[in-house]
Amino acid sequence: MSRYGSGFKEPPWVIGSSKEVMDWMEATHPKKNRKDKVLGKKYLTNLHVKFDFDVPQKEIETKGFLARLSGKKNVEEDFNLLTSTKLILRGLAKAKFHNIAKIIVDNKTLYNHPEKKSDLKKTIYILDNFSEQLNNGKMIEVNSVFNDSVKCTAIIKIKRIHYFGEHSVDILIKGKIRKDIYHTFLNYLHEKIGFREYP
């Protein structure tokens, strides 16, 4: 029987002091800012991810006198630059990146809007306007900005044709990024794209 005469049994903490009640509530259902302090958000700094798509490769003729002299060989990988770029940008969107600052295809700037704060998802659809350049292109570079409590920039280079020993995808994340956000991005890539990762 409860102290108020009802037939319901009261939880033991109801009888305690208000401080004990608040301590119990905070321990079982912490506030978001308290949860962040308790869990301690972990940040990763200046990450560099390189990988190749799991697709057929073929050796092609090396152009350029110095490249031939040094014995470097060119490799062409059999993947669609437009589709691959869209997949990686969707991974960035999953990881809460919002802004695409710049898109460069074969050293030509196709998109340059660092002032826009949330254009990533729209940019994925805008890429269709550049489908001709991307389908015939050898390399694309995308700069994306993430503004959390700290700012970080992802520089993504995707090369269909590259020197033997280089990788088709090179992602450099400059600045600090939360560990959970980075793993969300990486898990998306593992799930959607077959690739071989390198240290």
CA distance 104 to 101: 10
Each residue's pLDDT, cut to its tens digit, for the chain (199 residues) gives 455 555 545 555 555 566 666 665 665 565 655 444 444 578 889 999 888 888 888 888 777 666 666 667 888 888 888 888 888 888 888 888 888 888 899 989 988 887 777 777 788 888 888 888 888 888 999 988 887 667 788 999 999 988 888 888 999 999 888 888 888 888 888 888 766 555 5
Determine how β-strand 169-178 pairs with β-strand 151-159.
Answer: antiparallel
**Considering the entire predicted model, what is its pTM?**
0.70
CA distance 139 to 143: 14
